[in-house]
Amino acid sequence: MQLLEDRIRQQGEIIGNDIVKVDMFLNHQIDVDLLCEIGKEFKRLFAGEEINKILTIEASGIGIACIAAQYFSVPVVFAKKGIHRNVGNDIYTGEVFSFTKNQNTQIGISKKYINANDKILIIDDFLANGAAVKGLIGICKQAGASVNGIGICIEKGFQPGGKELRSMGYHVESLAIIKSIDDGKIIFG
Amino acid sequence: MQLLEDRIRQQGEIIGNDIVKVDMFLNHQIDVDLLCEIGKEFKRLFAGEEINKILTIEASGIGIACIAAQYFSVPVVFAKKGIHRNVGNDIYTGEVFSFTKNQNTQIGISKKYINANDKILIIDDFLANGAAVKGLIGICKQAGASVNGIGICIEKGFQPGGKELRSMGYHVESLAIIKSIDDGKIIFG
């Protein structure tokens, strides 16, 4: 998606050879106009898939998922991190290793909000090692729900998550794939 | 807002005399059509205020803020919880006591995304004791930004946050105010 690649080039902050911060428009400050274009593009890319629910994980995924959901006319469910007293015990759980925070995080979704009839589109901001997406897939499996699509804003193509998920047969669409970061320059591929 | 009160009556889960869970449509599963109506209502209620940015706090506030932002044509900035390696040190911080989790949480907003020219609308899902909103106001003060509105989906009128914020002169609009919960029945007021 040219619009997103352009924004990453213009406003992404490169740290070393493997981190691009997009705090300016995607996951701290949020450009909602850009999210609308992202949502429309996900709708176009997954037009052939039956989708009745969008699944994401707090926090950065929620805005993207909610805006996208308008184009699919489906509800959003977001996995919560940590143990929340108000969620109750009747939840599907999974564990996600965060490379950013260097720690495992427990995620959970109430059994009320995902079931065997669901045709799920998973949406997230980044895909690198795929830990978050795999955690969500694990929850879908527990619920017997089908994962009919995985929509990612920015995939780090030099990390294995995307390749692994595609080889497992999932329909993964990443709007911008970063092939490499060399000398402060982002190469898309 | 009748639509929201009706949904709380129909789908809210009452726990004791002071907790109403709205996980079904607002803060775990999200009914995006409802969020659109909420966003339009905030726009109507704050039509007289100059707003150039919507501020919220992760996680439940993000979806509400992003959908509302479409009607204001402004970006969203969300305060992050905990210390995030990728946020950097150049941040305004505040402390929020969560009664749900019974613990203090450190929140932060990068200094890049809030400044003295900003006319802020704070949006959140719940207002009870006002801890989260006061934490965000504290950050706005550090940045010299004006808080021109506070938009809340559900206010617990029997807890002091709303009264305190209004007596401090803030323009607070709550779409549903729960006056009391008696014998499993919600009284709006």
**Residue B84: per-residue pLDDT:** 54
Please tell me the predicted confidence (pLDDT) of residue A83: 59
Q: What is the pLDDT of residues B128-173, one digit of tens each?
A: 999 999 999 999 999 999 999 999 999 999 999 999 999 999 999 9
**Contact across the interface for A28 and B78, Cβ inside 8 Å:** yes
User: With contact defined as beta carbons under 8 Å apart, do A175 and A152 qualify?
Assistant: yes
* A-interface mutation test, from B86, B87, B101, B124, most A Cβ less than 10 A away: B86
Q: Domain containing B152 — which CATH number?
A: 3.40.50.2020
Per-residue pLDDT at A98: 81
Residue A93 lies in a domain: no
Asked if A11 and A25 touch (Cβ cutoff 8 Å), the reply is yes
Give the residue with greater pLDDT, B2 vs A89: B2
Q: How many domains does chain B have?
A: 1
Instruction: Name the percent of chain B lying above pLDDT 90.
Output: 87
| Cβ–Cβ below 8 Å for B29 and A87 | no
- Please give the Cα distance from B189 to B40 (Å, whole number): 22
Helix or strand (DSSP H, E) at B185: strand B185-188
| Proportion of chain A above pLDDT 70, given as a percent | 97
**Structural domain contains residue A106:** no
Task: Tell me, yes or no, whether B11 lies in a domain.
Answer: no
With respect to residue A64, please indicate whether it lies within any of the assigned structural domains: yes
Q: What is the Cα Rg of chain A in Å?
A: 16
* Average pLDDT rounded to a whole number, residues A94-119: 91
pLDDT value for A85: 46
Mutation to test the B interface, candidates A26, A29, A87, most B Cβ within 10 Å: A29
CA dist A52 and A72 (Å) reads 8
The DSSP-derived string for B66-127 is: HHHHHHHT--EEEEEES--GGG-S-EEEEEEEETTTTEEEEEEEEGGG--TT-EEEEEEEEE
Residue B76 and residue A30 in contact, taking contact as beta carbons nearer than 8 Å: yes
Collect all residues of chain A within an 8 Å Cβ-Cβ radius of residue B65. 63
Residue B85: pLDDT above 60?
A: no
Residue A22 is which amino acid?
A: V
As a whole number of angstroms, the distance between CA A95 and CA A139 comes to 10
Q: Is A87's pLDDT higher than 60? A: no
Interface of B with A in 41-80 (CB under 8 A): 58-59, 62-63, 65-67, 69-70, 73-78, 80
Q: CA separation (Å) from A125 to A28, A144, B175?
A: 12, 25, 30
The answer, for A176 touching chain B at a CB cutoff of 8 Å, is no
Residue type at B35?
L
**A113/B28 Cβ within 8 A:** yes
Assign B89 a pLDDT band (cuts: 50, 70, 90). Answer: confident
As for the ipTM of the complex, it is 0.95
**Residue B82: pLDDT band with limits 50, 70, 90:** confident
Nearest C-alpha of chain A: how many angstroms from B173? 22
With contacts defined as CB-CB under 8 Å, which chain A residues touch B33?
73
Is residue B105 assigned to a domain? yes
What are A135-157's pLDDT values in tens digits? 999 999 999 999 999 999 999 99
- DSSP tag of B124: E
Quickly state the pLDDT bin for A101 (edges 50, 70, 90): confident
- Sole residue written with tokens 């020219």: B117
Q: Which of A31-40, A120-129, B78-87 has the lowest mean pLDDT?
A: B78-87
pLDDT value at B91 more than 50:
yes
Residue B84 lies in a domain: yes
Confidence of residue A45 (pLDDT cuts 50, 70, 90): very high
* A90 Cβ under 8 Å from any chain B Cβ: no
The nearest CA of chain A is from the CA of B167 a distance in Å of 30
Distance CA B66, CA B59 (A): 12
Q: Which residue of A has its CA nearest to B91?
A: A28
The shortest CB-CB distance from A59 to any of B32, B36, B59 is to B59
108-137 in B: which are within 8 Å (CB) of A? 109-110, 112-113
pLDDT higher than threshold 80 for residue B57: yes
In a domain? residue B4 = no
Residue in B24, B63, B74 closest to A76 by CB: B63
pLDDT band of B103, cuts 50, 70, 90: confident
Q: Is the pLDDT of residue B108 over 70?
A: yes
B62: chain A residues, CB-CB within 8 Å: 30, 58-59, 62-63, 66
Calpha distance A189→A55 (Å, rounded): 27
In a domain, A25, yes or no: yes
Whether B89 has its CB under 8 Å from any CB of chain A: the answer is no
**SS3 of B43, please?**
helix
> Cα distance from A66 to chain B (closest Cα, Å)?
6
DSSP-based three-state secondary structure for A86: helix
Residue A89: pLDDT band with limits 50, 70, 90:
confident
Distance CA B59, CA B61 (A): 6
**In angstroms, rounded to a whole number, what is the distance separating the alpha carbons of residues B114 and A27?**
15
Q: Domain residues for B57?
A: 24-175
Closest CA to A157 of A165, A149, A148, A169: A165
B74-88, B101-115, B157-171: segment of lowest average pLDDT: B74-88
In whole angstroms, give the CA distance from residue A52 to residue A134.
20
Q: Do A75 and B30 touch (CB under 8 A)?
A: yes
A64: confidence class by pLDDT, cuts 50, 70, 90: very high
